[in-house]
Amino acid sequence: MIELQGKTVVISGGAEGIGLEIGLVLGRRGMNVVLADIDTQNLAAARDRMAAENIATLTVELDVALEEHWQKVARQTLERFGKVHMLVNNAGVGGAAGAIESYDSASWRWAIDVNLMGVVYGAQTFVPLIKQHGEGGWLLNVASMAGIGGVPYMAAYSATKNAVVALSEGWSTELEEHGVKVAVLCPGFVKTRIHQSHRNRQARYAVDKAPSKQQQKIADGAREAVQNGIDVELLGKRVMEALDGGEFYIFTHPSYRQLARQRAAAIDAAFERAAASPLLKDILEQEIGPF
Ligand SMILES: NC(=O)c1ccc[n+]([C@@H]2O[C@H](COP(=O)([O-])OP(=O)(O)OC[C@H]3O[C@@H](n4cnc5c(N)ncnc54)[C@H](O)[C@@H]3O)[C@@H](O)[C@H]2O)c1
């Protein structure tokens, strides 16, 4: 088991759902927990929930898409707990759904700013603070199974979650020498309020168009799938197991393995065709670049 007692974790989107559950699980292992979220009402309720378990908790208002908010979270974290050892980049929104032409740019921006730039700003703010004390630490990014390939009619969500997987893969190598372990959580459906993400949509990303029939149908399907998802408590336990085991990709739905296999097989078959192409025979043995 990894030693977490007395260390500090910052969790974005920590007021409810997956973020709060990870906070509870890590708090039970002795971590100080900083819950940062755009929803201040739920933050207050989350603080009470943590207090009931005697977990040392700080709550801070944060819109992950605003870089300056992250600076405030860092200041308050250091003031209260002195150091930080783990960042959980968890805040995320389901975003819009629909066919290519039905996505408006405000919906694209919302998903990119929260799901992708929120992760980038979080890492840029906290990774230097974790490196600084030299005690090592962890960066856990919450992606999704939608980050392991492309999902039809969910372009913005899927694109941003694929980006989070890619960032995590690169950062994992970058941060190795600093003793910072990176992990990327890729859940399938979990019973939370992710299907009601619009409740957190900032006014600057507002659209005044009602969803089309197709968009409504996709949203209804997503709601049903989320409501039939796994319990968040099970996900929390699985995350703890995986962190203890030093896992990089953290999966929670073993049945989705076939999707990853199909993708890997399709890519491998495509390479096979490239290797057999007369056009490419002269560069068959060329050394690979810096991957
Ligand atoms: N629930 C699922 O089925 C599922 C599956 C795969 C991945 N995920 C991912 O898990 C993460 C957590 O989602 P969840 O299922 O707990 O959803 P949730 O909606 O229950 O919780 C999300 C939390 O993020 C907060 N949030 C939203 N926008 C924010 C912003 N701009 N700044 C700060 N906080 C913000 C919300 O207030 C809320 O507390 C997300 O990244 C989501 O994409 C969820």
**Residues 211-226: tens digit of each pLDDT:** 888 889 998 999 999 9
Q: Would you say residue 2 lies in a domain?
A: no
Kindly report the protein residue whose alpha carbon is nearest to atom 23 of ligand 1: 13
- Ligand 1 midpoint to CA 101 (Å): 26
Give Cα separations from 146 to 84, 133, 149, 245, 284 (angstroms).
30, 35, 6, 24, 33
- Ligand 1 midpoint to CA 90 (Å): 6
Q: Would you say residue 243 lies in a domain?
A: yes
If one residue of 89, 190, 201, 226 were mutated to test the ligand 1 pocket, choosing by the most ligand atoms within 8 A of its CB, it would be: 190
Q: Is the pTM of this model over 0.75?
A: yes
pLDDT at 67 over 90: yes
Catalytic residues: 157
Q: Would you say residue 236 lies in a domain?
A: yes
Domain span including residue 173? 8-255
- Ligand 1 midpoint to CA 285 (Å): 45
DSSP 216-255: HHHHHHHHHHHHTSB-HHHHHHHHHHHHHTT-SEEES-GG
pLDDT at 230 over 90: yes
Ligand 1 lining (C-beta closer than 6 Å): 12-13, 15-19, 37-39, 42, 62-65, 90-93, 114, 142, 144, 187, 189-190, 192-194, 197, 200, 226, 229
State the average pLDDT for the chain.
96
pLDDT at 288: 79
Q: How far apart are CA 57 and CA 27, in angstroms?
A: 8
What's the pLDDT tens digit per position in 253-283? 999 999 999 999 999 999 999 999 999 998 8
Two structure tokens written together for 237: 């336990």
Q: Would you say residue 272 lies in a domain?
A: no
Q: Would you say residue 82 lies in a domain?
A: yes
DSSP 30-88: T-EEEEEES-HHHHHHHHHHHHTTT--EEEEE--TT-HHHHHHHHHHHHHHHS---EEE
Q: Would you say residue 90 lies in a domain?
A: yes
Compute the radius of gyration of the chain from its Cα atoms. Answer: 20
Give Cα separations from 131 to 124, 138, 155, 244 (angstroms).
11, 10, 35, 20
pLDDT at 291: 64
pLDDT at 65: 98
Q: How far apart are CA 237 and CA 249, in angstroms?
A: 15
What's the pLDDT tens digit per position in 3-52? 999 999 999 999 999 999 999 999 999 999 999 999 999 999 999 999 99
Kindly report the protein residue whose alpha carbon is nearest to atom 31 of ligand 1: 63
- Ligand 1 midpoint to CA 114 (Å): 10
pLDDT at 284: 83
Query: What is the average per-residue pLDDT within 167-175?
Result: 98
The DSSP letter of residue 149 is S
Total domain count for the chain? 1
What's the pLDDT tens digit per position in 93-103? 998 889 999 88
Query: What is the average per-residue pLDDT within 100-127?
Result: 96
pLDDT at 289 over 80: no
* Residue 110 belongs to domain with CATH number: 3.40.50.720
Q: How far apart are CA 48 and CA 44, in angstroms?
A: 7
